[in-house]
């Protein structure tokens, strides 16, 4: 059967069509009879949900014939994604059948050499189990084993990775999140937890501010609701240091100086106070410390100061303040990039207070929206495993014995700093610190110091390249799971649409195999169950609370379509805040106890170093999700190489022209990348979108220091990362 060349090279166009009528042998490299040699069965459809770390968590319909994934489409029963996928979603068939996919367990000797050999699952499990038992015997515990796992796959059953580590004993764990912790803490201090309006409710807004949010690339399914609001007369304002694709669609785009968003919000608050547009009744009835904050603004904040600090003209501050305060209801959507600064959490608290003072919290069409975790109340059955009897753990400050926590956001340093006992083995899954963590040189040095590294993944990425053994992971089309969103209110089932390709296994299946091997070598050394089908493991994640929230009696009802949680469209509409005072805490004693300002006052941004006067921002890309997707040949066709965006005036200052190779460097490290001159960025900011390109050493984090943001520890265990407080120098390479 003829294979159309465009199936390989068609980029986004081919991705959006489908994979049809191909020779499975050619596409996968797997021995298989031609489809022409056997009768075709009828096309079958399955429900899947994209499990990537993304706002949209898209519902999918998967088409399978003769056991082969033919195409994917959006699920029309999903009320938020409404039958559509993003560019990456339509490219999923190529991810499943990529010739670069890791097919079998592999061993690298020596580590980092690129000398990989195929091994059996039995040999892989035997090698890993013996290493675990060896470390346990030498150090008297499993604390020398460190787990680094985060969000490469957000399926609930994938929390079995944590369950794997718990089942062998107390271990060292990377704790925290690099994504959004400062903002989570800010809203936790203010409202008691993270809880936002249903994004579908944006249709009811009369005014919309997207603050540091590039939804056109990172949350595309929100745009139909935004556009519906605009059709009804709402105005869209986008505030961002970069003129993004989202900003280009706005009625008003405001290019703010990075890290000064709180100053802009304070300037708006001052003008609202001066013109008595404050919803005094709401603010005083539902918050504590509001009048104290107003007094601070009257004494400390002026429009001239706000304009000078932010780079936003005073008349524009006045305009958006008036429009936001007088258009009822008005909605603000705070993006994660905005809080990736040393004052990021504090800036979010100021924006929260702006929503309170105008009475837009708890209102349909309103809210200060950031994310939510209300629909994540599963059993986490796969995660919950007791340590084997007699396990020795880390004694914490509270005197309790358990796992040893280290900072995910300073992983290289914290792993290397452990001495009693030292970390000797890493287990990595759903995580790629080689491409995603700060201070890449330190990451590489830390990996080289390990005795043993195991990574579970689908591709030979930067972390796999530094591992001893890699175990091939299933895709979500090859496993059962359930997915919730941290943005919308829908929950969907993930069916096994195709059998696992090659010798890939899910994280739970890997845990089962490891448990069998450990207990064969040393009975009682692992508590993870050694049986259960993938669907049985899925079923155990559900509970009466989830059933009630979704209006179902059994998880199998989700096979007929995803369900929306039975929650109010407007968060906090009942006025029952989850703070100690049960009110919005403009004055927050918990924040003060944690060494932060009690009030949402201005905290100075990180100052620009004299030797490195250019801010280097590394936002989320369009063709990738962190280090996933961009490595596919379809995506490489559409976006073949990384670039650094430089304002023409700044480029001229350093003798840089379009297409020149540019060295971007500071005292930590450097990268060399092609220049693209554009006026979408400001004079003192260069931009390169973080991603992993196949066969490329490009990694923005060679220049990124592990500088913490101001918040995150309260809710997530560790402060976030100030990704965008990265300062560099540039020169023509």
Label residue 519 exposed, middle or buried (CB < 10 Å: 0-12, 13-18, 19+). Answer: middle
Q: Where are the beta strands (DSSP E) in 614-713?
A: 614-617, 643-646, 661-665, 670-677, 685-687
Distance CA 109, CA 341 (A): 41
Contact 348, 264 (CB under 8 A): no
Which residues are bridge partners to 207 per DSSP? 235, 330
Q: Within 13 Å and on the Cβ side, how many CA atoms surround 632?
A: 29
Pairing of strands 661-665, 106-108: unpaired
**Helices then strands, each counted (H, E), the chain:** 27, 29
Query: What are the φ/ψ torsions at residue 352 (nearest 5 degrees)?
Result: -55, -45
Give the model's pLDDT for residue 279: 98
- Report cis status (omega within 30 of 0) of the bond before 110: yes
Cα separation, 473 vs 96, in Å, equals: 11
CATH topology of 106-179+376-564 equal to that of 196-370?
no
Do 307 and 314 meet the contact criterion of CB atoms below 8 Å apart?
yes
pLDDT at 488: 98
Task: Decide if pLDDT at 12 tops 90.
Answer: no
What backbone torsions phi and psi does residue 226 show, to the nearest 5 degrees?
-60, -45
DSSP code for 439: -
User: How many other C-beta atoms are found inside a 10 Å radius of the C-beta of residue 218?
Assistant: 23
Q: Which of 510, 640, 625 is nearest to 85 (CA)?
A: 625
Q: For residue 70, count other CB atoms closer than 10 A to its CB.
A: 17
Spatial neighbors of 571 by CB under 8 A, at least 6 apart, are 195, 196, 197, 362, 367, 369, 372
Q: Given CATH 3.40.50.300, say whether it is the number of domain 614-732.
A: no
CB of 161 closer than 8 Å to CB of 510 = no
- Calculate ∠ Cα 165-170-176, nearest 5°: 70
pLDDT of residue 107: 98
The overall average pLDDT reported for the chain is 94
What does the alpha-carbon distance between residue 263 and residue 544 come to, in Å, rounded to a whole number? 46
| Domains of the chain, residue spans | 6-96, 106-179+376-564, 196-370, 614-732
Q: For residue 39, what pLDDT is reported?
A: 72
At a CB cut-off of 8 Å and minimum separation 6, what does 710 contact? Answer: 182, 342, 343, 344, 345, 346, 596, 603, 719
What's the pLDDT at 38? 66
What value does the mean pLDDT take over residues 217-236? 97
As a whole number of angstroms, the distance between CA 242 and CA 257 comes to 9
Measured in whole angstroms, the distance separating CA 360 from the mean position of its chain's CA atoms is 27
Residues 6+ apart with CB under 8 A from 372: 194, 195, 196, 486, 487, 571
CA separation for the pair 665, 707 (Å, rounded):
17
| Residues near 707 by beta carbon (within 8 Å), at least 6 away in sequence | 342, 438, 606, 721, 722, 725
Strands 116-118 and 106-108: antiparallel
**Would you say 138 and 130 are in contact if contact means Cβ atoms under 8 Å apart?**
no
pLDDT bin (cut points 50, 70, 90) of residue 37 is low
Residues 6+ apart with CB under 8 A from 469: 105, 106, 107, 108, 119, 124, 127, 128, 453, 454, 455
Which token pair is 185?
Answer: 């803490």
- Fold (topology level) of 6-96: N-terminal domain of TfIIb (2.20.25)
Residue 206, number of CB atoms within 10 A of its CB:
19
User: What's the alpha-carbon Rg for the chain, to the nearest Å?
Assistant: 26
Residues 514 and 528 sit within 8 Å (Cβ to Cβ)? yes
SS3 80: coil
Q: In CATH, which of 3.30.930.10, 3.40.30.10, 3.40.50.300, 3.40.50.740 is domain 106-179+376-564?
A: 3.40.50.740
What is residue 556's DSSP assignment?
G
- DSSP-derived secondary structure letter, 463: T
Percent of the chain scoring above 70 in pLDDT: 95
* Cα 296 to chain centroid, rounded: 35
- In whole angstroms, give the CA distance from residue 28 to residue 204: 48
- Compute the distance between CA of residue 705 and CA of residue 686 in angstroms, rounded to an integer: 17
Average pLDDT over residues 136-152: 97
Q: What is the mean pLDDT of residues 546-566?
A: 98
Which of helix, strand or coil describes residue 644? strand
- Residue ranges of alpha helices (H) inside 107-192 are 121-139, 160-168, 181-191
User: Are 72 and 60 a contacting pair, CB within 8 Å?
Assistant: yes
> How far is residue 599's CA from residue 585's CA, in Å, rounded to a whole number?
9
Integer CA distances (angstroms), 730 to 598, 651, 661, 676, 688, in order = 39, 9, 10, 13, 13
Angstrom distances, CA of residue 145 to CA of 406, 449, 707: 12, 13, 26
Q: Max Cα separation, the chain?
A: 82
- In angstroms, the CA 676 to CA 113 distance is 34
Assess whether pLDDT exceeds 60 at residue 14.
Answer: no
Residue 444 pLDDT > 80: yes
Please give the distance of CA 45 from its chain centroid, rounded to a whole number: 29
**Domain spanning 196-370, CATH architecture:** 3-Layer(aba) Sandwich (3.40)
Give 490's strand partners. 564
pLDDT of 510 above 50: yes
Bridge partners of residue 646, in order along the sequence: 677
Q: Can you give the pLDDT at residue 2?
A: 29
């Amino acid at each position: 059967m003829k294979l159309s060349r465009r199936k390989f090279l068609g980029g986004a166009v081919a991705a959006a069509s489908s994979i049809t009528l191909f020779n499975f042998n050619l596409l996968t490299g797997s021995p298989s009879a031609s489809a022409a040699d056997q009768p075709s069965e009828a096309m079958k459809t399955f429900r899947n949900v994209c499990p990537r770390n993304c706002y949209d968590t898209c519902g999918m319909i998967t088409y399978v014939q003769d056991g082969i994934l033919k195409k994917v489409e959006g699920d029309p029963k999903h009320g938020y994604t409404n039958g559509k996928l993003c560019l990456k979603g339509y490219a999923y068939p190529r991810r499943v059948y990529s010739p670069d996919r890791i097919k079998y367990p592999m061993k690298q000797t020596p580590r980092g050499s690129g000398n990989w050999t195929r091994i059996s699952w039995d040999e892989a499990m035997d090698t890993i189990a013996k290493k675990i038992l060896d470390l346990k015997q030498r150090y008297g515990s499993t604390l020398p084993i460190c787990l680094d796992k985060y969000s490469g796959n957000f399926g609930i059953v994938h929390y079995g990775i944590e369950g794997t580590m718990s089942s062998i004993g107390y271990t060292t764990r990377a704790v925290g999140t690099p994504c959004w912790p400062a903002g989570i803490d800010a809203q936790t201090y203010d409202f008691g937890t993270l809880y936002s309006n249903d994004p579908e409710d944006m249709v009811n807004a009369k005014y919309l501010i997207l603050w540091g949010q590039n939804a056109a690339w990172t949350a595309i399914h929100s745009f139909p609701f935004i556009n519906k609001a605009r059709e009804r007369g709402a105005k869209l304002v986008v505030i961002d240091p970069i003129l993004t694709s989202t900003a280009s669609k706005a009625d008003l785009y405001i290019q703010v100086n990075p890290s000064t968003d709180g100053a802009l919000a304070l300037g708006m608050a001052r003008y609202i106070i001066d013109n008595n547009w404050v919803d005094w009744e709401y603010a005083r009835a539902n918050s504590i410390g509001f009048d104290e904050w107003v007094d601070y603004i009257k004494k400390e904040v002026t429009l001239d100061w706000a304009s000078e600090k932010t780079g936003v003209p005073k008349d524009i501050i006045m305009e958006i303040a008036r429009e936001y305060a007088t258009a009822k209801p008005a909605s603000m959507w705070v993006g994660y990039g905005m809080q990736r600064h040393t004052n990021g959490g504090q800036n979010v608290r100021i924006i929260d207070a702006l929503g309170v003072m105008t009475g837009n919290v708890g209102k349909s069409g309103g809210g200060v929206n950031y994310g939510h975790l209300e629909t994540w109340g599963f059993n986490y059955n796969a995660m919950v495993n007791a340590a084997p009897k007699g396990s020795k753990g880390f004694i914490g400050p509270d005197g309790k014995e358990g796992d040893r926590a280290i900072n995910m956001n300073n992983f290289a340093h914290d792993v290397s700093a452990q001495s009693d006992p030292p970390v000797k083995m890493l287990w990595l899954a759903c995580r790629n610190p080689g491409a995603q963590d700060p201070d890449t040189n330190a990451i590489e040095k830390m990996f080289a110091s390990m005795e043993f590294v195991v990574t579970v993944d689908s591709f030979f990425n930067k972390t796999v390249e530094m591992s001893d053994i890699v175990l091939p992971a299933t895709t979500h089309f090859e496993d059962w799971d359930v997915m919730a969103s941290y943005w919308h209110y829908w929950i969907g089932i993930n069916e096994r649409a195709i059998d696992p390709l090659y010798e890939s296994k899910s994280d739970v299946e890997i845990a089962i195999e490891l448990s069998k091997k450990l207990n064969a070598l040393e009975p009682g050394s692992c508590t993870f169950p050694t049986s259960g089908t993938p669907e049985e493991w899925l079923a155990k994640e559900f509970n009466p609370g989830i059933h009630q929230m979704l209006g179902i009696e059994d998880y199998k009802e989700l096979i007929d379509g995803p369900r929306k949680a039975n929650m109010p469209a407007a968060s906090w509409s009942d006025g029952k805040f989850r703070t100690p005072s049960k009110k919005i805490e403009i004055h927050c004693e918990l924040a003060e106890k944690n060494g932060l300002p009690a009030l949402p006052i201005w905290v100075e941004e990180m100052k620009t170093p004299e030797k490195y006067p250019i801010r280097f921002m590394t936002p989320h890309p369009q063709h990738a999700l962190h280090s996933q997707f961009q490595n596919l040949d379809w995506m490489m066709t559409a976006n073949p190489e990384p670039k650094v965006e430089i304002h023409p005036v700044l480029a001229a200052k350093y003798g840089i022209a379009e297409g020149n190779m540019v060295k971007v460097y500071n005292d930590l490290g450097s990268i060399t990348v092609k220049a693209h001159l554009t006026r979408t960025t400001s004079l003192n900011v260069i931009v390169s979108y973080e991603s992993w390109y196949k066969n490329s050493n490009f990694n923005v984090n060679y220049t990124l220091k592990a500088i913490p943001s101001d918040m995150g520890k309260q809710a997530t265990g560790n402060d976030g990362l100030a990704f965008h407080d990265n300062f560099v120098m540039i020169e023509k390479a």
